Structure 1
Amino acid sequence: MADPLYELLAPYFDRPSTTSTSEAIPLPTDPTTDAYLARLPTLSLQSLTTTESSYLNAATQSSLRSLQALSKRSHRSVITATDHLSNLSALLPSLYTRSKELGDALPQLETAATNFATKYDRAAENAVLDRRKRAMLLSRNVDRVSDVMELPTLLSTAINSSSAAVTQGTGGAAASGYASALDLHAHVKRLRTLYPDSDLVGDISRQADDEIQNLITVLINGLQNPSLKLAGAMRMIGWLRRVAPELADDTYASLHGQIKGRSLGAATGEGSLGALFLVCRLGTLRRTLDALDPLKDLADQEALRRSESRDRQETWIGGAQTERYLKRYVEVFREQSFAIISMYKSIFPSALPIPGLAGADITSPTGTPIQTPTISESTSTPFFEAEDDKTPSALATFAPHLVDMLSERLRTYMPNISERSSRDSLLTQVLYCAGSLGRLGADFGMMLALLEDELNEEGEAGKPEETDEDDHEWVQVMKKHRVQASRLELLASGVGSGRKTSTSLDSRRPSAVPG
């Protein structure tokens, strides 16, 4: 119905003027025209004549206000777009020129890219790429490298803390600290084995070796501790075996090498550690004995007075201070020497005279040569070559040295003691000391005979007269010592048998029956 209505109203449309371009006849296909023509049939005749004109005026005013608001909002953008579009004619030739220049530069870019790919080709060796790879690898492993660089510091801290723990007497903390230090050093050595060409690992290994040398010094000082016990000594020797394996190598093996596939290091297992242990403990023994210097000074004063009385041809009576000094000296000597030798035998149980040395005399712990049989590879080949020099064991020379120390002290101060009872008491104490060391194979009781002969030769009467063997002082002391020992054994056996007899009698006695 819209089309007939449009045809009906078309003659009444306002014709646009020739000069106006904003007004035009509405087309029937226009959505606004179509919507308005569809609305007209719905209105009554009265509405068309009365309210339609006002409605059209209101719609016109509304559209006008909308256009004004739109122009107010968008006029700047429209003006700017117009200005830009006005420069488009100049920009297009410039764009064409730049595009042509870019096209001309593409071959050069392709050539440069080809040269770069050829220069940094991964298929061939390239120093720059290798350097960059190392830098990237270092960047990814910077945490690990920093941990490795801290190993010498951690090792030094562990050693210092262990040394402080030893000073304070906390053995458990010292043991854990030394164990940590040894584990760290073993880790550094393993890194050195894995990366022998690394300068960083080599520098860290050298620093760790310096700290281990400090640890060796600390351990050696620990072996000289006066309060050292067997457990602590065994731990320190074990640590020294780990940090200084060259000390554990046997002296014979280091001097003569391996012969017939065997070495003396496997036979003894002592190496230089045994001698080191004995030297450290000997130094401790000497320092302990040096603590008796106040008593020694008093004994020296008595020796001076005895010399003066001998010069005046007077009989010397005295020696109480000397007796006190020597008894204390012998007591300390007995305790310390027994502890040293017993600890040595516990730590180095295999450090015994080596069997199988062809025609070699091996020295026992008492210093007595012992001839050992020959063990040979065959009936004609000895275990070791005959021309090899056989060095005695460290313990074999240590025990005679201790005896020489004691005999020298007795030889110097025994003449100060004039009373026979005091001399007998002192010699009895020396015999007890000899018996104590005799339990470890170092009995030196027969030294008293040589000591008495030396004292008689140096005596005031010159050459001693010939006396019966039973009249010697050492013989009398030895007899008394044996009598006392036999009495103690008899008393001990009598007490035991008495207890057994009383027990047997009680068992045989009939039990009383209560009435």
Structure 2
Amino acid sequence: MAESLFDLLKGYLPASGDQQRQEPTRDQDRYLSRILSLRLSDLSTSETESLQQASHSNNVSIQSLSSRSYRTTTSSFEHLRTLGTSLQDLSSTTTDIRNAVPELDESAVKFATSYSKLSDTNAALDARKKSMLLARQAEKVQEILELPMLLSAAIASANNTSSTGVNYSQALDLFSHIKRLQILYPDSEMVKKVLVDAKVAMRDMTTNLITSLRNQNIRLAAAIRTIGWLRRVLPEISKQDVHSSQATTVPSSLNPNAAVLQQEDDFGAIFLCARLCTFLTMAEALAPLRELADQETAKRNQTGQNGRPAEPVRRSSQHSYAVQGQQTERYIKRYIEIFREQAFSTISMFRNIFPPHENQDVADDDPLRLPSALATFPSHLVGLLMETLRTYLPNITDPASRESLLMQVLYAANSLGRLGADFSMMIATLPPGPSPDIAEDEKAEPEWARIIRKHRVQSARLEALAAGQEQAANKSKFADIAVR
């Protein structure tokens, strides 16, 4: 029935598209079925209202849908409008990618061949491997680069703290570690640079050690430790100067122990030079007294030029009388005290630090070996003392003062005589002083002979007194033992 009604009303329906539909749509079929179910009176009365209500409801629904989805609808419209262009672009891009795939494949094969682990001819790959290795070993490399700074810090702290031995020992251990690294990696530029910096620090340590040998109150234990450190430091530093070491080394073919003995003599010479600097520094500290003595020398020379005899003269002062040459006497007395102290301590320490070698007698017969520094050191010190006495002793015209000073010189000579450096007879070379008031039979005796004779008498008395005290002490000891 719906189809028959549709055929009847098809002529009154608006055309949709190019051709008019021959069959009703589903909505049309459903509406025609509804119309057939109504009565004829309903078509003219209630159906019109029902259609208006449905139209109004659809309008409201469309308006609600438009207010909720207008953005989505607009965006969909825009996308739909550009969809054709986008599809064309996608097609052209796909074509370009398809054409670029062979070139990409060729580049990938070339990259894989160039940067393969089996390839050793790529400089960039080698640089990358080195960079990665450096990144993995960065902490170890930093520790190696910090070794010279640690070495310098240990050497610097040794001069400011009381634990000098510990710091110097640590510095020597660090330097030995750097030398082992240089042996393990002889071609490493970094290790070579670290070794150069370490040698600079060790030169500073050597300077500090030699400076410590110039300490005025150095003890035997400290001197032995310092020489021991120098024995470890100097050979390592001197290896870099091959030509100088070959020039100063004694041929070992003549005497196999010559090199060892010569090295010990070198350390001995360093020790004696340091102690000589100490003596000269202490003597230079007497410069104010020396200046006063020079003034008295100038007055003496002026008196001699005027033709007046050089006799003991007393100059009046505000409270007492001062003998001419008193400042010179003070200077010479202090100079002799410094000489006696430093000469005895230096030679005695030298004999303890550098004992005679077991092959010393055989080495002394070698004509190419230089003499020991100790053989000339006492004579050099005595020469300095004698030169000072010859210069300033004529200023002293008081016989008692001259005798006191020369007796002090003889005591210093006896002190060095215990170490095999007696120079008592050297006072015979000093200029004589004014003749004192003595007996006629003693006037022919020189001043130095008279003073030596008096010194021997006093020394004999002192020895007898010391022997008597020792015997008395032994007797009292035996008596105490007997009583017990």
Q: Is the 2:433–2:447 Cα contact (8 Å) retained in structure 1?
A: no
Q: Is the 1:295–1:324 Cα contact (8 Å) retained in structure 2?
A: yes
Q: Is the 1:162–1:175 Cα contact (8 Å) retained in structure 2?
A: yes
> Aligned-pair distance for 1:84?
7.1
SS in 2 for 1:244: helix
Q: Does 1:205 align with 2:195?
A: yes
Cα deviation 1:388-433 (Å, max 9, x = unaligned)? 4221111111122112222333333444444554444333322332
User: Which residue number in structure 2 is paired with residue 118 of structure 1?
Assistant: 113
Q: TM-score, normalised by structure 2?
A: 0.69
User: Which residue number in structure 1 is paired with residue 51 of structure 2?
Assistant: none
> Aligned-pair distance for 1:137?
1.9
Alpha-carbon distance between aligned partners in 2 of 1:390 and 1:260, rounded to the nearest angstrom: 10
Question: Which stretch shows the higher mean deviation, 255-264 or 71-80?
Answer: 71-80
User: Which residue number in structure 2 is paired with residue 256 of structure 1?
Assistant: 250
Alpha-carbon distance between aligned partners in 1 of 2:78 and 2:285, rounded to the nearest angstrom: 112
SS in 2 for 1:442: coil
Q: Does 1:224 align with 2:231?
A: no
Cα deviation 1:258-298 (Å, max 9, x = unaligned)? 32783423346525222122112111101111222333344
Alpha-carbon distance between aligned partners in 2 of 1:142 and 1:504, rounded to the nearest angstrom: 78
| Equivalent AA in structure 2 for residue 337 of structure 1 | A
| Equivalent AA in structure 2 for residue 332 of structure 1 | I
> Aligned-pair distance for 1:459?
6.8
Alpha-carbon distance between aligned partners in 2 of 1:247 and 1:474, rounded to the nearest angstrom: 53
Alpha-carbon distance between aligned partners in 1 of 2:237 and 2:399, rounded to the nearest angstrom: 50
Q: Does 1:495 align with 2:472?
A: yes
> Aligned-pair distance for 1:236?
3.1
> Aligned-pair distance for 1:130?
0.7
Q: Is the 2:265–2:373 Cα contact (8 Å) retained in structure 1?
A: no
Alpha-carbon distance between aligned partners in 2 of 1:262 and 1:353, rounded to the nearest angstrom: 10
Q: Does 1:314 align with 2:293?
A: no
User: Which residue number in structure 2 is paired with residue 324 of structure 1?
Assistant: 330
User: Which residue number in structure 2 is paired with residue 283 of structure 1?
Assistant: 277
Alpha-carbon distance between aligned partners in 1 of 2:465 and 2:455, rounded to the nearest angstrom: 15
Question: Which stretch shows the higher mean deviation, 318-327 or 428-437?
Answer: 318-327
> Aligned-pair distance for 1:301?
4.4
Residues 87 and 202 (structure 1 numbering): CA distance in 2 closer, same or farther, change over 3 Å? same
Residues 504 and 258 (structure 1 numbering): CA distance in 2 closer, same or farther, change over 3 Å? closer
Residues 344 and 460 (structure 1 numbering): CA distance in 2 closer, same or farther, change over 3 Å? same
Q: Is the 1:220–1:280 Cα contact (8 Å) retained in structure 2?
A: yes
Q: Which runs of 5+ in 2 are unaligned?
A: 1-5, 10-22, 31-62, 313-323, 436-441
Alpha-carbon distance between aligned partners in 2 of 1:338 and 1:486, rounded to the nearest angstrom: 20
Alpha-carbon distance between aligned partners in 2 of 1:436 and 1:156, rounded to the nearest angstrom: 43
User: Which residue number in structure 2 is paired with residue 36 of structure 1?
Assistant: none
Q: Does 1:238 align with 2:203?
A: no
Alpha-carbon distance between aligned partners in 1 of 2:127 and 2:246, rounded to the nearest angstrom: 51
Q: Does 1:354 align with 2:350?
A: no
> Aligned-pair distance for 1:136?
1.9
Cα deviation 1:48-75 (Å, max 9, x = unaligned)? xxxxxxxxxxxxxxxxxxxx99999889
Alpha-carbon distance between aligned partners in 2 of 1:412 and 1:197, rounded to the nearest angstrom: 63
Q: Does 1:396 align with 2:375?
A: yes
User: Which residue number in structure 1 is paired with residue 420 of structure 2?
Assistant: 442
Alpha-carbon distance between aligned partners in 2 of 1:79 and 1:455, rounded to the nearest angstrom: 129
Question: Which stretch shows the higher mean deviation, 85-94 or 347-356?
Answer: 85-94
Residues 442 and 417 (structure 1 numbering): CA distance in 2 closer, same or farther, change over 3 Å? farther
Cα deviation 1:116-143 (Å, max 9, x = unaligned)? 2222333232222111111222233334
| Equivalent AA in structure 2 for residue 112 of structure 1 | S
1:340-489 equivalent positions in 2, closer than 5 A: 340-350=346-356, 354-357=360-363, 360=364, 388-439=367-418, 441-444=419-422, 447-452=423-428, 454-455=429-430, 472-489=449-466
Residues 505 and 222 (structure 1 numbering): CA distance in 2 closer, same or farther, change over 3 Å? closer
Residues 233 and 502 (structure 1 numbering): CA distance in 2 closer, same or farther, change over 3 Å? closer
Percent identity between the two aligned chains: 37
User: Which residue number in structure 1 is paired with residue 140 of structure 2?
Assistant: 144
Residues 475 and 239 (structure 1 numbering): CA distance in 2 closer, same or farther, change over 3 Å? closer
> Aligned-pair distance for 1:212?
3.0
User: Which residue number in structure 2 is paired with residue 295 of structure 1?
Assistant: 289
> Aligned-pair distance for 1:254?
3.8
Q: Is the 2:399–2:434 Cα contact (8 Å) retained in structure 1?
A: no
Cα deviation 1:134-165 (Å, max 9, x = unaligned)? 122223333433443344444444444444x1
Question: Which stretch shows the higher mean deviation, 396-405 or 310-319?
Answer: 310-319
SS in 2 for 1:277: helix
SS in 1 for 2:111: helix
Q: How many positions carry a matched residue from both structures? A: 419
Residues 474 and 224 (structure 1 numbering): CA distance in 2 closer, same or farther, change over 3 Å? same
Residues 305 and 108 (structure 1 numbering): CA distance in 2 closer, same or farther, change over 3 Å? closer
| Equivalent AA in structure 2 for residue 235 of structure 1 | R
> Aligned-pair distance for 1:450?
3.9
Q: TM-score, normalised by structure 1?
A: 0.65
Residues 450 and 200 (structure 1 numbering): CA distance in 2 closer, same or farther, change over 3 Å? closer
Alpha-carbon distance between aligned partners in 1 of 2:304 and 2:92, rounded to the nearest angstrom: 132
SS in 2 for 1:495: helix
Q: Is the 2:148–2:201 Cα contact (8 Å) retained in structure 1?
A: yes
Alpha-carbon distance between aligned partners in 2 of 1:184 and 1:24, rounded to the nearest angstrom: 106
User: Which residue number in structure 1 is paired with residue 17 of structure 2?
Assistant: none
Cα deviation 1:75-113 (Å, max 9, x = unaligned)? 987997899789888877876665555444333222222
Alpha-carbon distance between aligned partners in 1 of 2:447 and 2:308, rounded to the nearest angstrom: 29
SS in 2 for 1:316: coil
